[in-house]
Chains A and B, each alone.
Chain A
Amino acid sequence: MKIFQVAILLGVVALLWGLNFFFEENINPYILRVIINCGIGMILAMSLNLVNGCAGQFSLGHAGFMGVGAYMSATITTVLNLSPFFQTDLGVGCAIVTGGIAAAIAGYLVGLPSLRLKGDYLAIVTLGFGEIIRICFLNIESVGGARGLSGIPPKSNFFWVYLWVVITFVALLRLLRSSYGRAILSVRENEIAAESMGIDISRYKIVAFVVSSFFAGIAGGLFAHLQSFIDPNSFVFNKSIEAVIMVVIGGMGSLSGAIFGGIIVSLLPELLRVFEQYRMVIFPLILIILMLVRPMGLLGHKEIWEIFRKKASS
């Protein structure tokens, strides 16, 4: 079993590596960029899904944690000038993980006071914290302030982004299938009942929030090293809303749904470029129609394989 898993892992890495070469040689850079953006969208959506969908705690501050990851990793690779190692692929990878950890710490600090609140109040407080984080970056001169931070080594490519998509997916899937994951789900289902089962609900809310922030930070780091330029405006409130839309479209609490949501919300605005100035009229219209037709999101609470299994058995 162990050997089997390692083999699958190596196979996936090799496949991504190969695809990376193939894409860079054979398809147009614009399309490749859109595909990579979809990957970042998927990581954002999957991570937010853990808090909004699985734990049932409505957070509107995801862009803030993405910003922490982006600025932290970019600071290491660009501002600090520590060693040439941080210009290499591996060094950037380390910086991105550090960014993720910084975002997780930020998530812990924000989550501790805010997760005492519920529903609308939690949404407003997380929104506030998201903005506070952004305003902090706006006022730190050493990371460029309002001018932003440029010259970040553009090391995010198809391989790295999709490797992280796979890592995020596997990590969150394993988490959700463990007793930890069931505890997180039970908090969403019924807090009082969860407490009477012996579940420390505040602890699990924090765990969900911290893990979610970590992956948001990773997404931020990948984003920074893709654009090679970030400014506080990259992490405005709209970005948080975008992540929420991804989760809602995909289906709250569905990991595979979040992947679809991430793709749709990243891809649609690009596909709609043929409509030129009407693009941003048509995009929301499509979202509204989608929500009218599938109010539960594309997959609802279910995972895509559960839906297929049910179809196959009936």
Chain B
Amino acid sequence: MILSVKNLSVNYGLISAIRNLSMEVPKGEIVALIGANGAGKTTILRTISGLIKPVSGSVIFDGQDIAHVKPHLIVRRGMSHVPERRGIFANLTVYENLLMGAYTRKLMAGDLDEVYALFPRLAERKKQIAGTLSGGEQQMLAISRALLSRPKLMLLDEPSLGLAPQITKSIFETIQRINKTGTTVLLVEQNAQAALKIAHRGYVLEVGDITYSDTSQALLNNDVVRKAYLGDH
């Protein structure tokens, strides 16, 4: 297991958002965390990457508890987080955004080429101000930027948000390609269908609790999950 979350509880002020949640991400897999609005998906991701501190429980990453490590230090341990709504640096150029991705280490000559090979569109637009990119291109930029810190584990928060189905498909295919090169991926999605198609394993989250966890194939065939999340009647 590259990541295991044990008995995690997170509060916002007095309101409890996550209660006693446990989940595991095996090395080399894509794990999807699906659930409706307000279920706590983003909260979990932010707690794992250290942006929010849990009330109790532990987050074991690569053998060490990182639940109370500062977020910028967690990045150095090999985890990178693509935040919700992409969080690109809108007033900087595409190139500058990518440079920030490699902030924690020395940028090697071939690093940017690798990213440009994954997303040729970014190479065409490297001098453009990032805020003027389309939604899909911004998502590509956010993923590339996270990739440049050479993560062992990549957290993706709603990569399909606001994207056309065609672009969502191509982004998900790229995520699969990234995974095949050895990066473990934890994916949070509302678009359960798309997420489970590429994932090895899935967790279904309902208001702060995990209700189902299984291989993604089994979840895709589970009647309750199909009714609630996959639009099957």
Contacts and interface: CB of A to CB of B under 8 A. Distances in A.
Taking residues whose C-beta sits less than 8 angstroms from the other chain, chain A's interface range is 20 to 34
Of B80, B103, B104, B146, which is in contact with the most chain A CB atoms at under 10 Å from its CB?
B103
Interface stretch (B28-36, B53-61, B94-102, B177-185): B94-102
Interface in B78-109: 80-83, 87-92, 96, 99-101, 103-104
Contacts of B50: 195
B104 A182 contact: no
B75 A198 contact: yes
A186 interface: yes
A301 B87 CA distance: 19
A97 to B, nearest CB: 32
Interface of B: 49-51, 70-73, 75-76, 80-83, 87-92, 96, 99-101, 103-104, 142, 145-146, 149
Contacts, number: 73
A192 B83 contact: yes
Contacts of B75: 196-198
Nearest to B142: A193
Contacts of A199: 72, 100, 103
A190 B87 contact: yes
A185 interface: yes
Contact of A189 (B80, B89, B149): B89
Nearest to A185: B92
B89 A185 contact: yes
Given A182-B92, A188-B91, 17 more contacts: A185-B89, A185-B91, A186-B89, A189-B92, A192-B51, A193-B83, A193-B89, A193-B142, A194-B89, A194-B100, A195-B51, A196-B83, A197-B101, A197-B149, A198-B73, A198-B149, A199-B100
Contact of B99 (A179, A253, A301): A179
Contacts of A189: 88-92
Nearest to B75: A198
Of A182, A188, A301, which is in contact with the most chain B CB atoms at under 10 Å from its CB?
A182
Nearest to A196: B81
A217 to B, nearest CB: 29
Given A179-B103, A197-B104, A198-B104, A186 B92 contact: yes
Contact of B100 (A183, A253, A301): A183
A182 B99 contact: yes
Contacts of B49: 196
A13 interface: no
Contacts of A24: none
A197 B103 contact: yes
A270 interface: no
Given A192-B51, A192-B83, A193-B87, A198 B92 contact: no
A179 B96 CA distance: 10
A297 B198 CA distance: 48
A19 B25 CA distance: 69
